[in-house]
Amino acid sequence: MSSPSPALASFKAAADQLAINDAAPDWLNATRVNGWQRFAEMGVPGVRDERWKYTRLAALERQSFVLPNHGGALSKAVHAEEFSALPGLRMVFVDGCLDERSSRLAGKAGLRVRSLDNAIADNDAVVSELLGKIAQGPLHPFAALNTALLANGAVIDVEPHATIEEPVYLLFISSCAQVSLISNPRILLNIGANASVTVVEHHLAHDGAKNFVNVTTEGRIGEGARLEYCSVLDGVALDSHINGLHLEQAGDSHVIHNSVTLGGRMIRNDLHCRLLGPGSHIDMRGLYLAGDRQHVDNHTLVEHCAPHTSSAQDYKGVLHGRGRAVFNGKVLIHSGANGSEAHQSNGNLLLSEKAEIDTKPELEIYNDDVKCSHGATVGQLDKEALFYLRSRGIGEATARSMLTFAFAEALVQRIGLSDVRNRIEQRVIELLPESERIRSFV
């Protein structure tokens, strides 16, 4: 047997370190050990794994990582890029550790937002009901790794029938450039029946930070509840980032997921949603940009497990330079899911000859009484639209920028929170090639 990769060896060392040093309750240590065993069995997926065929982890495996220093001084909490105008509760994590000074955790009626370690120390019922219950199974090795290295994170608990007007904001900043850290935020969402809430998960990195951020989110969405979940992976400085969102939805619940990935060296987003109750619905919208030395992989899996469930996926990518992206969207309709409906579309704009997309929509259907559609497009800018803009006196380069922005904007404008929407619009303009031309129009 070959010796473990540097990454794997460092993960093992981290797991051992946690087991020795941490004054965790026995059940938590047992959970971690179990997580490690499952991860060790699955291993770091290679290119022979169909789900990882187009996303190579070789570079990640060559690195070695250490855990963030618990309770250490949070040296560099620069928040210039955060959604500073967002009202409501917020938790700010710097290199995986909660920065309490920047966080705002006062209670709100019907809503509890707390750190995972506090929740664990208090034997919070949400932890025992959710932790490891939704993000599990052989498809998700990095969820198992997250469990093995479990330390920090957020618990969001919304009481039944509570309508939470202000969004809950989770900000994760990677700042350490001296050593390569692995941070493993775990987010638990418990949305009570008929409750309603918006959550923003926002990842930023400072230049030079070489972190591996491995996020696992588990959410249970109660009957009739509504959740709008925005995942924003902001920027070129993100290094290795694996983000798993795992949801279970009860009857008549309604989830909107806005996934925005604005670049990064190696980004993998997994969304696994199980529609367990009749009438449950998820609306998934994804925008991804990738340029030189950037790789963005979106894998989605929606399981329709009950009658009259519905899902809609609309993912769009803009690839330039040598940017690479992967989209794999799978819809699985189980035999009992009569009258279900699933629509999926993936559109890609390739702005250069070196850019690349691997797109694969998949439908697996075990029921005749369903309505499904899927489609993927890969293309350049619409020639008719270019001519139309130029015929109005707009120069060709500006017209191209306008149309490129417009392609992304079609998704951005559907984000419900104006603070988030406006900032993403600005970031998209900053990141698209030659987009300074259109700044004055947008």
Partner 1 sequence: MSNKILEIKGLKAEVDGKAILKGLDLAVEAGEVHAIMGPNGSGKSTLTHVLAGREGYVVSGGKVLYKGADLLELETEERAREGVFLAFQYPVEIPGVNNVYLLKAALNAQRKHRGEAELDAIEFLSLVRDKMKLMQMDESFLNRAVNEGFSGGEKKRNEILQMSVLQPTLALLDETDSGLDIDALKIVANGINSLRREDRAIVLVTHYQRLLDYIEPDFVHVLSNGRIVKSGDKSLANELEARGYDWLAEEAVSA
Q: Which is nearer to partner 1, 147 or 258 (CB)?
A: 258
Which helix (H) or strand (E) segment holds residue 32: the answer is helix 26-42
User: Taking the complex as a whole, how short is the minimal distance between the CB of residue 346 and partner 1, in angstroms?
Assistant: 16
Residue 180 CB, shortest distance to partner 1, in Å, is: 39
The residue among 236 and 262 lying less far from partner 1, judged by its C-beta, is 262
Q: How far is the CB of 305 from partner 1 (least distance, A)?
A: 34
In sequence order, the 6+-apart residues with CB closer than 8 A to the CB of 388 are none
Q: Least CB distance from residue 402 to partner 1, whole Å?
A: 6
Q: Decide whether 36 or 405 has the Cβ nearer to partner 1.
A: 405
CB of 434 to partner 1, least distance (A): 15
DSSP string for 125-179? HHHHHHTTTSS-STT-HHHHHHHHT---EEEEEE-TT-B--SPEEEEEEE---SS
Which lies closer to partner 1 via its Cβ, residue 44 or residue 412?
412
The 8-class DSSP code of residue 318 comes to E
Least separation in angstroms between CB 268 and partner 1: 27
Nearer to partner 1, 199 or 349 (CB): 349
Which residues bind to partner 1, rule: CB under 8 A?
382-385, 387-396, 398-399, 402-403, 405-410, 413, 438, 441-442
Q: Give all strands of the β-sheet with 97-98 in edge-to-edge order.
A: 97-98, 90-94, 168-174, 196-205, 226-234, 254-261, 281-290, 310-319, 340-350, 370-379
Nearer Cβ to partner 1 (331/402): 402
Least distance in Å: CB of 232 to partner 1? 19
Crossing angle of the two packed helices 383-390 and 396-412, in degrees rounded to 10? 120
Tokens 């139309």: give the residue: 388
Largest CA distance in the chain: 71
The token duo for 132 is: 């490891």
Q: Which helix (H) or strand (E) holds 216?
A: strand 212-221
Other beta carbons within 10 Å of 208:
12
Q: Which is nearer to partner 1, 85 or 397 (CB)?
A: 397
| Two structure tokens written together for 330 | 């799978």
CB of 382 to partner 1, least distance (A): 8
Q: What tokens were used for 426?
A: 């600005």
Quick one: 48 or 383, whose CB is closer to partner 1? Answer: 383
Min separation Cβ 328 and partner 1, Å = 25
CA dist 61 → 199, 274, 293, 340, 384 (Å): 32, 31, 17, 41, 46
- Residue 326: CB partners within 8 Å, gap ≥ 6? 54, 55, 295, 296, 297, 298, 299, 357, 358, 359
CB of 126 or CB of 438, closer to partner 1 = 438
